[in-house]
């Protein structure tokens, strides 16, 4: 049975045309099993987690904690703190780990980072005075590794995006981790784009922290996680105070939980975690490697056709890169392009993609980005390209 | 409210278009209706804030009538400027100032656009009205 049938939204029409959804790097669509799991939670098991002794609370707790267990196993991670998404996960790392561990130490970032992996560190730096060092992106759209090596001395942390949301470029994470660790720095991976496309083994990579979101891998919005190795976890200090993260509270002071709950103050995203667990189960039964290869083939075809139509394509589409195609027409504004595509039922992204430093480096203010995921087919790509040709004929 | 004749015609033309693509195509065509504000005259003062693209507008009052000059790096945005030009250029100031963005809603163009573009149009409209009041 075709995978597309698992995603109810793909059956709808947009502006009188079949929906061709190519905005997967922003968020992916949800299969019925995810929607059903969340629906079932609210219709049969809804309760607050952890402390109550009644049956519903036990079921809700089991559902919520099952997501954590799956994530640890999926990414081979020692600790998993559930957050609202990648952004909150990185902010958590900055506050809970950075504040106590980075005093006076430099932070190495790259020009390829999403704003969510730049701004929290800029804010930390404003407060602690950390020096921020940015690794440039070379004209071939890869990180300048010599510059990374030159900037590592005295750094306490290297923050690097696993796979660029604009370029689809998968960075040499293994080498970056080696350089960082050799110089006494920890590594935080922004895996929001990488995690949906490949199986990341955190322990094997040796990353210290890794942030990701559910919604980019068929899960719901509003949930993500910060995966942390044990050593780093033990260095983290509580960030948000409140219910669930405490052990005891007296008027004189409080003591805190010692497990991941220590960083999950308040009622967590229970339905969302249950939905994410269902998404992981769904993805787990697919051959993601095979899909990755297939989607990369589609991305390469689209990139090549767009180039032949006079577009500049920003990406290289190597074997480990993601199936993202960012492009720009010499005269037709990216926002106009997206409007015209939307009128034909094609959903793409435009603008700076929350990566303004990277676009500044490329000397542009925005691109059109078509990003492919497991339910996209070559037929989608061919239809998309036909619409592009037609738009160019009529408007360029 | 009562609109200037040329604006009534434009609203009717847009209302007669059912197809989203044709509607966008027409907005694109109207990009040529602007009195061009050349890129070398784009300044921070002419810039329309809150617009996703570079969009600039300058208004003058010439013998109690409005003159509007504009330009954008997006043809669609310039088309929206063209609509505003048809609506108020060479109209008496008091007629221009009596307009609200409601005419664009009646045309059906604001709901054809993304929220950011539709907000961009409102920002453009607000800036023109603000500048006109200052010029008055």
Q: Which residues in chain B show pLDDT less than 70? A: none
- Tens of pLDDT, residue by residue over A296-331, are 999 999 999 999 999 999 999 999 999 999 999 999
ipTM of the complex: 0.80
Domain boundaries, chain B: 5-135
Separation in Å, CA B102 to CA B6, B50, B66, B111: 16, 19, 20, 12
Chain A: residue whose CA lies nearest to B24: A340
What residues are paired with A97 via a beta bridge? none
- Tens of pLDDT, residue by residue over A17-70, are 999 999 999 999 999 999 999 999 999 999 999 888 899 999 999 999 999 999
| Mean pLDDT across chain A | 96
Mean pLDDT calculated for residue range A105-129: 95
Tokens of A139: 């004209």
- Tens of pLDDT, residue by residue over A137-160, are 999 999 999 999 999 999 999 999
* Statement: residue A271 has pLDDT above 80: yes
Contact A333/B at CB under 8 A: yes
Question: What pLDDT, on the 0 to 100 scale, is given for residue B49?
Answer: 86
Q: What percent of chain A has pLDDT over 70?
A: 100
Tokens of A171: 């960075």
For residue A354, indicate whether it is catalytic. yes
Contacts with A123 (C-beta within 8 Å, 6 or more apart), sequence order: A94
- CB–CB of A359/A365 below 8 Å? yes
Instruction: Say how far apart CA A185 and CA A206 lie, in whole Å.
Output: 12
Residues in chain B: 136
Structure-derived torsion over alpha carbons of residues B27, B32, B38, B44, reported in degrees to the nearest 10? -20
Contact across the interface for A339 and B28, Cβ inside 8 Å: no
- CB–CB of A306/A287 below 8 Å? no
Chain B closest-CA separation from residue A148 CA (Å): 33
* Statement: residue A1 has pLDDT above 70: no
| Of A143, A146, A92, A140, nearest in space to A116 by CA | A92
Catalytic residue selected from A67, A218, A225, A354: A354
- CATH code for the part of the protein at A3-22+288-395: 3.90.1150.10
Q: Which residues of B touch A347 (CB under 8 A)?
A: none
Contact across the interface for B24 and A333, Cβ inside 8 Å: no
- Tens of pLDDT, residue by residue over A337-391, are 999 999 999 999 998 889 899 999 999 889 999 999 999 999 999 999 999 999 9
Mean pLDDT calculated for residue range A6-12: 97
Contacts with A243 (C-beta within 8 Å, 6 or more apart), sequence order: A265, A266, A267
Contact across the interface for B21 and A395, Cβ inside 8 Å: no
Instruction: Say how far apart CA B17 and CA B23 lie, in whole Å.
Output: 6
The residue of A329, A339, A346 whose CB has the most chain B CBs within 10 angstroms, and thus the best one to mutate to test that interface, is: A339
Question: What pLDDT, on the 0 to 100 scale, is given for residue A98?
Answer: 97
Domain boundaries, chain A: 3-22+288-395, 33-284
Question: What pLDDT, on the 0 to 100 scale, is given for residue B121?
Answer: 86
- Tens of pLDDT, residue by residue over B16-52, are 998 888 888 899 999 999 999 999 999 999 999 877 7
* Statement: residue A129 has pLDDT above 90: yes
Contact across the interface for A395 and B117, Cβ inside 8 Å: no
Chain B: residue whose CA lies nearest to A364: B53
Question: Strands of A106-110's sheet, edge to edge?
Answer: A79-83, A224-228, A209-213, A186-190, A155-161, A106-110, A132-135
- pTM for this structure? 0.91
Mean pLDDT calculated for residue range A216-226: 98
* Statement: residue A233 has pLDDT above 70: yes
Question: What pLDDT, on the 0 to 100 scale, is given for residue A260?
Answer: 95
On the CB side of A90, CA atoms within 13 Å amount to 29
Q: Which residues of A touch B32 (CB under 8 A)?
A: none
- CATH code for the part of the protein at A33-284: 3.40.640.10
Helix, coil or strand: residue B44? coil
Contact across the interface for A336 and B52, Cβ inside 8 Å: no
Question: What pLDDT, on the 0 to 100 scale, is given for residue A237?
Answer: 96
- CATH code for the part of the protein at B5-135: 3.90.1010.10
Helix B75-88 crosses helix B20-29 at what angle (to 10 degrees)? 70
Instruction: Say how far apart CA B7 and CA B111 lie, in whole Å.
Output: 18
């Amino acid at each position: 049975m075709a995978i597309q049938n698992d995603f109810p939204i793909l059956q709808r029409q947009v502006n009188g045309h079949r929906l061709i959804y190519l905005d997967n790097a922003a968020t992916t669509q949800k299969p019925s099993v995810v929607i059903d799991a969340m629906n079932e939670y609210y219709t049969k098991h809804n309760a607050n987690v952890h402390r109550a002794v009644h049956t519903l609370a036990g079921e809700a707790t089991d559902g919520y904690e099952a997501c954590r267990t799956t994530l640890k196993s999926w990414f081979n991670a020692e600790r998993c703190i559930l957050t609202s998404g990648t952004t909150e996960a990185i902010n958590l790392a900055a506050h809970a780990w950075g504040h106590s561990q980075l005093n006076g130490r430099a932070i190495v970032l790259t020009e390829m980072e999403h704003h969510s992996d730049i701004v929290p560190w800029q804010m930390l730096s404003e407060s602690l005075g950390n020096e921020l060092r940015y690794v440039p992106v070379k004209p071939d759209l890869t990180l300048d590794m010599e510059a990374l090596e030159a900037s590592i001395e005295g750094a306490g942390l290297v923050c690097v995006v696993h796979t660029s949301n604009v370029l689809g470029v998968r960075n040499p994470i293994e080498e970056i981790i080696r350089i960082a660790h050799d110089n006494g720095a920890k590594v935080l991976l922004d895996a929001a784009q990488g995690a949906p496309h490949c199986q990341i083994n955190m322990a094997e990579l040796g990353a210290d922290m890794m942030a990701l979101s559910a919604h980019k891998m068929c899960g719901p919005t509003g949930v993500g996680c910060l995966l942390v190795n044990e050593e780093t976890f033990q260095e983290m200090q509580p960030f948000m105070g409140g219910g669930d993260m405490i052990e005891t509270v007296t008027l004189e002071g409080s003591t805190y939980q010692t497990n991941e709950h220590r960083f999950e103050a308040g009622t967590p995203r229970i339905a969302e975690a249950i939905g994410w667990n269902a998404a992981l189960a769904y993805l787990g039964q697919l051959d993601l490697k095979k899909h990755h290869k297939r989607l990369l083939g589609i991305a390469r075809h689209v990139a090549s056709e767009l180039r032949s139509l006079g577009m500049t394509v920003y990406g290289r589409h190597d074997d480990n890169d993601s199936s993202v195609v960012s492009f720009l027409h010499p005269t037709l504004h990216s926002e106009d392009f997206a409007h015209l595509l939307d009128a034909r039922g094609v959903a793409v992204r435009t603008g700076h993609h929350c990566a303004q430093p990277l676009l500044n480096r490329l000397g542009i203010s925005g691109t059109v980005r078509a990003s492919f995921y497991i339910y996209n087919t070559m037929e989608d790509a061919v239809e998309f390209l036909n619409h592009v040709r037609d738009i160019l004929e009529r408007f360029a | 409210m009562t609109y200037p004749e040329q604006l009534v015609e434009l609203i009717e033309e847009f209302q007669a278009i059912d197809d989203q693509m044709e509607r966008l195509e027409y907005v694109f065509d109207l990009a040529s209706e602007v009195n061009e504000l050349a890129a070398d005259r784009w300044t921070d003062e002419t810039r329309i804030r809150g617009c996703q693209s570079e969009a600039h507008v300058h208004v003058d009052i010439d013998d109690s009538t409005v003159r509007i000059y504009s330009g954008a790096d997006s043809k669609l945005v310039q088309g929206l400027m063209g609509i505003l030009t048809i609506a108020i250029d060479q109209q008496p100031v008091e007629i221009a100032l009596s307009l609200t963005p409601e005419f664009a809603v009646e045309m059906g163009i604001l709901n054809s656009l993304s929220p950011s573009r539709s907000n961009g149009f409102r920002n453009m409209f607000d800036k023109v009205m603000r500048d006109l009041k200052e010029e008055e």
